[in-house]
Amino acid sequence: MDGVRPRKQPAKAANGVERKINGYADLGDRTTASAEPTENIFLFWPNVIGYSRIVLAIASLYYMPLHPRTCSCLYSISCLLDALDGLAARQFNQSTRFGAVLDMITDRCTTSCLLVFLSSAFPRWSIVFQGLISLDFASHYMHMYATLTMGSGQSHKKIDQSRSRLLHLYYNNRTVLFVFCALNELFFIALYLLSFSSPMLSPSLLPAGDKAAGTAQPGNPSYASSLIFATPGSAWAMELARANKMNSFWPWVLAGVSSPVMLGKQILNVVQLVKASKWLAEGDIKARRAEGLPKKK
């Protein structure tokens, strides 16, 4: 029509992709961006292994009160997969910060759940188990926070020798790391099994007519059955106790072999807590100096 200027159509590049002219969208840039490979961090193989660890841990908690063999098996598999996710991360080049945090959280939570059970199974030692839970969480939280803030986002496993030779050896030597983590868990699993097998540690395993049997504790068949039946000597309780009865020899052996490493692991937790606290304090001093603090009077 006369007097009406035709609207400019977008120019096309040689490859037929529209470019931005007079307000038109640049489809070429969008095409280029969409062509870049995308990754779903949540579906990386190490993280998938981490999810399976959580499922196994929850299943072990379900069986924990009355089925020591099933619980120990599921719990042990969950712990052993902790080494497999690291191998997968290196094999597929899928090391991520999300995976590192997921791995640490899973470790802390599973161990804490087992220690909570031990606190109820051995009430006289509950304060010790509560202290171990607190030390484990405080040490690893402080350490990870310090490495993320003071180490410019570096991995919590990258520890310089100048900061701590013990922690450098622990985190950088895979054999040392595996042995300490595995035997630490093995010690607590052994205590868990002893709560079902050792009359020395669990008085409720003594015959029902014994005066010492009056102190029934969680984790033992007589305790759970007495909540339902009038006496622990009922047919159901006796059958369950017979099915779960265990020999205490091997749990004692496992506890004795792993106890030195468990103690060493707690010493490492204390060292890690102290070193991380000092590292954060050094950062606070630098930040205060940059702000001109403390001010001179």
Output the domain CATH number for residue 90. Answer: 1.20.120
pLDDT of residue 197: 84
- The verdict on 145 and 231 lying in the same domain is no
Residue 48 token pair: 């998938």
- The verdict on 234 and 121 lying in the same domain is no
- The verdict on 239 and 279 lying in the same domain is no
- The verdict on 238 and 142 lying in the same domain is no
* 117 CB neighbour count, 10 Å cutoff: 21
Does residue 3 fall inside a structural domain?
no
* 34 CB neighbour count, 10 Å cutoff: 8
Tens digit of each residue's pLDDT (9 = 90 or more) over 35-51 = 677 899 999 999 999 99
Residue 88 pLDDT class (50, 70, 90 cuts): very high
Does residue 171 fall inside a structural domain?
yes
- The verdict on 66 and 194 lying in the same domain is yes
Does residue 25 fall inside a structural domain?
no
- The verdict on 161 and 87 lying in the same domain is yes
- The verdict on 229 and 144 lying in the same domain is no
- The verdict on 130 and 277 lying in the same domain is yes
CA distances from 59 to 73, 74, 294 (A): 10, 7, 54
Tens digit of each residue's pLDDT (9 = 90 or more) over 165-219 = 999 999 999 999 999 999 999 999 999 999 888 777 765 555 444 444 444 444 4
Does residue 19 fall inside a structural domain?
no
Tens digit of each residue's pLDDT (9 = 90 or more) over 110-149 = 999 999 999 999 999 999 999 999 999 999 999 999 988 8
pLDDT of residue 209: 47
Does residue 295 fall inside a structural domain?
no
Q: Is the pLDDT of residue 286 over 60?
A: yes
**Helix (H, G, I), strand (E, B), or coil: what is residue 113?**
helix
Spot the catalytic one: 107, 136, 160, 284. 107
Rounded-to-integer distance, Cα 139 and Cα 104, Å: 12
Rg over CA atoms, the chain: 29
- Alpha carbons within 13 A on the beta-carbon side of 231: 7
Number of domains in the chain: 2
- The verdict on 74 and 175 lying in the same domain is yes
- The verdict on 92 and 220 lying in the same domain is no
Give the range of the structural domain holding residue 220, as residue numbers without chain letter.
204-244
Q: Is the pLDDT of residue 27 over 50?
A: no
Does residue 23 fall inside a structural domain?
no
For residue 74, count CB atoms less than 10 angstroms from its CB and return exposed for 0-12, middle for 13-18, buried for 19 or more: buried
Does residue 4 fall inside a structural domain?
no
DSSP state of 126: H
- The verdict on 137 and 223 lying in the same domain is no
Rounded-to-integer distance, Cα 23 and Cα 192, Å: 70
The residue among 266, 57, 126 whose CA lies nearest residue 274 is 266
Does residue 293 fall inside a structural domain?
no
Residue 111, Cα to own-chain centre: how many angstroms? 7
- The verdict on 275 and 165 lying in the same domain is yes
- Which pTM does this prediction carry? 0.77
107 in catalytic set = yes
